[in-house]
Amino acid sequence: MGAKINVLSAGAVKPGLTKVIEAFRQETGHAVDVTFATAPEIRNRLRAGESADVVIAPSEVIADLVAAGNARAADRGTIGRIGIGIVVRDGAAVPNIATVEDFKQSLLEADSVVYNQASTGIYLEQLFERLEIAKEIAANATRYPDAASVLNHVRSAGGNVIGFAATTVVKENEDKGLKFVGPLPAEIQNYTTYEAIVTANSAVGDLAPALVRYLTTSTARSVFTAFGIESKNE
């Protein structure tokens, strides 16, 4: 067993990444320790001096790391893209999201709309403005720092509550008191692309680049796809 590879990763890729990391451990014998956080938390942790060998985050976060000289552009790979999913409590009425107009009406009729303060929530704020329902949504909205808190709220709340989270996270929790209604209508769907990169101060030699390369292999790709992480060209 060699040095341990420390990974700081966005939580949206957790379902597939956990399986891929385990396969990497078994094939190589190298230890990997993964810490999951939201994109804003990843930025803050790195700015505060937290160390990691590999960072997995939305493309804009990765680009910022490269621009600041905090990551190696040559040791960078794309994991895939993830859309936004809609979730309700298991047993609750399923909202109609067949069209954008149906989606809008379902939100306006909801008792509460729940979403996060990270990438998903930032996009939804902009979307509600475009759909001209921002004021109505704001009056009944509950925001949380992360997806786990969003799903806990939807799971435990009564009434007509509609939640939003990364499709991967919703699917992972579908057998835990939640129902995946479906992705946002195609016309208004938003994808976040996630990449992996080796940090400039990584101290594990060739191990970190080896992990990033493994995350982009066909073996890893098949696992990610199974967990709802799409290739960018899909």
Same domain for 62 and 92, yes or no, is: no
Mean pLDDT over each residue of the chain, to the nearest integer: 93
d(CA 154, CA 168): 16
| pLDDT of 59 above 60 | yes
233 occurs within a structural domain: no
| pLDDT of 184 above 60 | yes
Same domain for 17 and 73, yes or no, is: yes
Same domain for 42 and 114, yes or no, is: no
Same domain for 100 and 184, yes or no, is: yes
16 occurs within a structural domain: yes
Provide the domain limits for residue 198: 5-82+193-226
Average pLDDT over residues 7-24: 94
Nearest of 109, 97, 91, 116 to residue 169 by alpha carbon: 116
Residue 74 maps to which CATH number?
3.40.190.10
Structural domain tally of the chain?
Answer: 2
Q: Kindly tell me the burial class for residue 213, based on how many C-beta atoms sit within 10 Å of its own C-beta (0-12, 13-18, 19 or more).
A: middle
Residue 11 CA: distances (Å) to CA of 55, 128, 134, 147, 225: 12, 24, 27, 8, 16
Predicted pLDDT of residue 175: 86
Same domain for 183 and 204, yes or no, is: no
> Locate tokens 């451990």: which residue?
25
Structure confidence by residue, pLDDT tens digits, 130-148: 999 999 999 999 999 989 9
Average pLDDT over residues 202-214: 96
Same domain for 15 and 105, yes or no, is: no
Predicted pLDDT of residue 211: 98
Same domain for 89 and 72, yes or no, is: no
Secondary element (H or E) of residue 72: strand 71-82
210 occurs within a structural domain: yes
pTM of the model as a whole:
0.83
Same domain for 117 and 180, yes or no, is: yes
Nearest of 100, 165, 158, 159 to residue 133 by alpha carbon: 100
Same domain for 146 and 212, yes or no, is: no
149 occurs within a structural domain: yes
Structure confidence by residue, pLDDT tens digits, 145-164: 989 999 999 999 989 999 99
57 occurs within a structural domain: yes
